[in-house]
Amino acid sequence: MSSQVAVMTLVNIKPQAKFAGIARLMFNRFSTYHPKGLILQKHMGSGKNAGFSVNPSGTHQGLFGLFDTIDNAQQFINTSPLLKWYQDHADELFTVKLQAYSVKGKWSGHQLNEVIPTPSSGPIASLTRASIKPLKTYSFWTKAPPAEIDLHETQGCIISAGVGEAPILRQATFTIWESQAAMDAYARSGAHLKAIKAAMQGQYFSESMFVRFQPFDAVGSWKGKTLG
């Protein structure tokens, strides 16, 4: 069985380092640092207040990496120059390891492996990402804000962040929940359910991926919340 491990990092950069952080977001792809065992990496910006918004945040960023083994994932956490810069310039920083148990779709042609059975208890994490067709942009973004409002008001959501590879067109939402039941209650009701149905029926996406993970080895906090 595959032993793939993902690492998700969320950061709120100090205001005085804002422009240096934006530069890293723009140019990190040209870095000569190549972590051992890296399968897929996405360095992402975020919407206002780290939410799912067309208005960008100048200080919030996300970094997702998929590795072939847990040892290589940990080596990346220990040695990454970008993570070290985040540590030195962050108002808040959160990093968590993830193992997938349910995967639908792809990200830039990559499909994550399901590496563990469905957990019998929480917490669990979810990553939803999509490449939005340009002609479907307006329709998509009229549905997104109500779903985010519902998310913030939903009991059982511990951590949430809206991130994206590119403004408007390539977006993702990362969440951690107290339990599978709490996440399912949100996913199958209200504005989120309406948004998903509209997206599927309207064929809004040229590529999408929906993954559920078991989170572990979390360090730090996000919006004042921690994963115990």
Residues 211 and 83: their CA atoms lie apart, in Å, by: 24
CA 128 to chain centre: 7
- The amino acid sitting at 50 is A
**Sorting pLDDT into bands at 50, 70 and 90, what band is 151?**
low
**Sorting pLDDT into bands at 50, 70 and 90, what band is 218?**
very high
Contact 92, 42 (CB under 8 A): no
Identify the pLDDT of residue 193: 62
- pLDDT, tens digit, 9 for 90 and up, residues 66-121: 999 999 999 999 999 999 999 999 999 999 999 999 999 999 999 999 999 999 88
Which residue would you say has higher pLDDT here, 151 or 138?
A: 138
Contact 45, 163 (CB under 8 A): yes
Residues 65 and 67: their CA atoms lie apart, in Å, by: 7
Q: For tokens 């810069």, what's the residue? A: 85
CB atoms inside a 10 Å sphere around CB 76: 23
Residues 192 and 149: their CA atoms lie apart, in Å, by: 10
Identify the pLDDT of residue 66: 98
Residues 142 and 48: their CA atoms lie apart, in Å, by: 16
Question: What's the length of the chain?
Answer: 228
Identify the pLDDT of residue 1: 47
- pLDDT, tens digit, 9 for 90 and up, residues 5-59: 999 999 999 999 999 999 999 998 888 889 999 999 999 998 777 566 667 788 9
Check whether 191 has a pLDDT greater than 70: no
Which residue would you say has higher pLDDT here, 48 or 128?
A: 128
pLDDT mean over 171-182: 92
CATH number of the domain located at residue range(s) 5-216 in this protein: 3.30.70.100
Check whether 175 has a pLDDT greater than 90: yes
Residues 35 and 58: their CA atoms lie apart, in Å, by: 27
Runs of H (alpha helix) within the chain: 18-27, 70-79, 81-89, 137-152, 180-187, 190-202
- pLDDT, tens digit, 9 for 90 and up, residues 50-65: 566 667 788 999 999 9
CA atoms within 13 A on the CB side of 177: 25
CA distances from 183 to 78, 108, 127, 154 (A): 31, 26, 12, 9
User: 144-153, 172-181, 182-191 — which is least confidently predicted?
Assistant: 144-153
Q: Reduced to 3 DSSP states, what percent helix, strand and coil does the chain have, rounded to the nearest 5? A: 35, 40, 25
The residue extents of the domains of the chain are 5-216
Identify the pLDDT of residue 52: 65
